[in-house]
Amino acid sequence: SSGFLLGILDEAVQGDDSYKFQLKKGDLLVLYSDGITEAKNVSRKDSHDGEIEREMFGEEKLHKIISENRSRTPKQLIDVILKAVDSWMSEQDDDITLAVIKRKR
């Protein structure tokens, strides 16, 4: 994964990148680890060579869930995302970290 490191030790930080932004009323900030986007679905056999193929949950699916549920509270949005990821993956291969912040005013 090449995104911003979330919840990592100081010794492991790559570079001095910092991000500054301001949330406006109603904006959401969703922080997540690659354990969500890289969650793999139930195994199935590829019809071409018989190999097992597992599709990742992906950012597109995550963004769709967020946009369809942006009116929910942060807790509700977390629950919806985690339920979708849990029902998608066959087994948890990685840790999952998720935080949602919503500006009310």
* Residues 58-83 pLDDT 10s: 999 999 999 999 999 999 999 999 99
- Res 10: pLDDT: 54
Residues of the chain with pLDDT under 50: 1
What does the pLDDT read at residue 6? 55
Nearest to 3 by CA among 44, 38, 27, 47: 38
pLDDT of 34: 94
* pTM across the whole model: 0.77
Q: CB of 44 within 8 A of CB of 53? A: yes
Read off φ and ψ for residue 31, nearest 5 degrees. -110, 130
